Amino acid sequence: NRLIPRPTRNRLPVPPAASIWVNRDPANLANPHPVYDAATAEELVKGVLLSDPAAHSRITNVLFTGTPLNMTDRSLAYFSNGDGMDIPSGLILSTYGAQNAEAPNLYSGELGGGTSLNGDFHLTDIATSTVNGGSILQFDFQPYTSKISFDFIFASEEYPDYSNSSVNDAFGFFVFEQGDPTNFENIALFPDGNPVTINNSNWGNTGYNSPSGLPAPLTGAYPALAVNPEWHVPNYEDLYAGSDSLMTYDGRTIKLQAVAENLDPSKTYTLKLAICNVGDNAYGSAVFLANLDLGRAEGDVGGPDTGVSVAEIDALGLNDEGNPMFIYGNRPCTYPMTLTFDEIAASTHAIIDINYISGPGTVFPKSALRSLEGEQLFSVDTIQLNGLQDMILQYKFKLSTDFDGFVNGQYAGMTVSVRGTNTIDTVFYAQLYNELSWNVDYRMMTEIDKGYLDLGVTGGTPHAHRSLNGGLTWKPISAGFSSQELLYIGETCDILLYQPFQCCYDTVKIRKNTGPIEIQHYVDILGESGVITEPAARKHYVKGNNDFSFTAKYAGDPLRVQAKGYYSKILLDLDKTAELQLDGSYKYTIYKVAEPWTISFTPQPNSDQVSNEALLLRSVWSSGNTLYMNVQTPCIANIYTLTGLLYKQVEADGNTAVQLPQGFYIVSVNGKQYKVMIK
């Protein structure tokens, strides 16, 4: 038996200089990180682990199991100052107490404990003994290409005490197609293709983690013999002179790369990052993660992350005739103008005439040539040079479109000539454009509405571009928005607009419709002889998730009333909801209408042996992002992930609807289990 876990020590107010920083504010190490301290697991994955912010929409269904993020001993956190181990910053996923992974390294056997993962299918598959406390970070992803990768470092308190022993903490990076967790691949591998474990790379086992006890990779008999020492880095305890530890773990691997290949970009996969104590809860471990790369899209597939760069847009700043494009606005969109006059006799006074030119059929007044302050650049049509042999005059100017008769894209220019000579110099000749303006028409994409976005842009140059990812990549404004982009925008998004030259940015704030989209489903009451319904027999439209009630008065005995779901094909026995009214009619109700229903009347069965199950083809089903349950009596429904972890408990009563993130779930209702897929 190993030592029981040491009590978790309090980390120092400020870590040693060489230490990593876990959840620290780099501006004041005594404070928690101002952004990532309160971040959710999803925000940590998308904001820290993912290398390309444009790929946010490719990550869904982020789930974290471990010591909660709002606790001091949280087992998932942001780290930085990791240059000493070749991963400057990223995420740390630990068995327990990630914030105590900082130096100093004082003892062996620390950071044990954690949330029980006993029974986890994947960890049990790779563990050498009973799975105990640990953490899991899992999410779905859709790759851009057939390959993804990320960097990682595994660290543990089990080095070197339990190197080459029968006790090794377990961790793995499991990749499988969404909904098929039994067909998985572990991509946490050393360069030789073997799993990353303590036994597969170490400096040997002496039981002493000190420069004197483990000065170099050991030779000799197993277990003291070092195994693949080139992939291991010891972290000496600070109790010994000359030690300046990076973290509290007694050893770690070098930076490694996890790679999943032969993926299908049209499919969605699950990446499950899991780590646990094995056999007992002593001697904790952790894995440091960074630079998740989902590949890059090949060509313009209509996503928010494809397009051209700012440099490519700036290259479009000359029109087809080679003349520059000038954009007027209230920002410092200014341009240099240089007038050079040579060989003007020092004893003479030269008068320079200024002439304003424009394209055919347009007029460019001198008032449109403005200084930085917005004043007319030249108040008169001449420049006088007094007795200077050579002169260079430089101006910064902008062009105004605030004059009568302006046409967007018209030509504007200026020439100068020296009186008494034949010299005429064209200073500039360019196309002049207005600022962009927009009038947004946006309807958010939903399960039943494909959505719509029209920026309504007017003005600007023909080369105005838009970006959905903060300026990482750009598309022409004229390009329509794809369904992928509309899904990316969601309820809110800032779209950046850009025209050639860096002074010409605008931001369009996209927000969900001020009024929510009203989703309606029909309820079709089929007519039947001898039955009078209120409302009358025909299609009636009901707001989504609202109840629908109707009454039926019978000429003879009451008939059997059923409702059939359009998508689910379920048959509801509405007789269970029947309420006798004072006028002799019966009131029936479909609760929380979430799909179209058709109501029919048939004779009652001759036998009362018909069970509820015979009437209900299915009691659990899904449509879009909603789980539906139809139960006869109130009960508790347990919703599990495919890994067996309880995700949610719901009080089900009658027709019950629950919205869930995308993925596969096991629903346990009244002792029966149902597998459902949420899209």
- Look at residue 629 and tell me whether its pLDDT is greater than 80: yes
* pLDDT band at residue 611 under the 50/70/90 scheme: very low
Nearest to 10 by CA among 361, 248, 281, 197: 248
Average pLDDT over residues 385-409: 72
Average pLDDT over residues 270-296: 91
Domain 329-433 shares a fold with domain 620-679: yes
Structural domain boundaries in the chain: 21-293, 329-433, 439-511, 518-617, 620-679
Q: Could you read off the pLDDT of 339-362 as tens digits, one per residue?
A: 766 655 555 567 788 888 777 666
Cβ neighbours of residue 408 under 8 Å, at least 6 residues apart?
401, 433, 434, 459, 460
* pLDDT band at residue 108 under the 50/70/90 scheme: low
User: What one-character DSSP code corresponds to residue 48?
Assistant: I
Cβ neighbours of residue 241 under 8 Å, at least 6 residues apart?
none
pLDDT higher at 586 or 491: 586
The pLDDT of residue 298: 40
Q: Could you read off the pLDDT of 149-182 as tens digits, one per residue?
A: 999 999 998 888 888 887 788 899 999 999 999 9
- Look at residue 327 and tell me whether its pLDDT is greater than 70: no
Cα 24 versus chain centre, distance: 23
Instruction: Determine how many CB atoms are found less than 10 A away from the CB of residue 586.
Output: 19
d(CA 590, CA 211): 74
Where b means 16+ CB within 10 Å and e means fewer, 626-637 reads bbbbbbeeeeeb
d(CA 291, CA 286): 17
* pLDDT band at residue 301 under the 50/70/90 scheme: very low
Handedness of CA 218, 160, 101, 172 (dihedral sign): positive
The pLDDT of residue 1: 45
Cβ neighbours of residue 156 under 8 Å, at least 6 residues apart?
169, 198, 249, 250, 251, 252, 283, 284, 285, 286
State whether CATH 2.60.40 applies to domain 620-679. yes
- Joined together, the tokens standing for residue 556 give 């003879």
Cβ neighbours of residue 618 under 8 Å, at least 6 residues apart?
568, 569, 570, 630
Return the CATH number of 329-433, one of 3.30.160, 1.10.3470, 1.20.1530, 2.60.40: 2.60.40
Q: Could you read off the pLDDT of 588-605 as tens digits, one per residue?
A: 999 888 778 899 999 887
d(CA 327, CA 595): 52
- Look at residue 610 and tell me whether its pLDDT is greater than 50: no
The pLDDT of residue 87: 94
Query: What is the pTM for the complete model shown?
Result: 0.49
Cα 387 versus chain centre, distance: 67
Where b means 16+ CB within 10 Å and e means fewer, 342-365 reads eebeeeeebebebebebbeeeebe
* pLDDT band at residue 515 under the 50/70/90 scheme: very low
- Look at residue 187 and tell me whether its pLDDT is greater than 90: yes
The pLDDT of residue 598: 93
The pLDDT of residue 269: 96
- Joined together, the tokens standing for residue 221 give 């008999």
The pLDDT of residue 287: 97
Q: Could you read off the pLDDT of 442-465 as tens digits, one per residue?
A: 877 665 566 778 888 888 777 788
* pLDDT band at residue 275 under the 50/70/90 scheme: very high
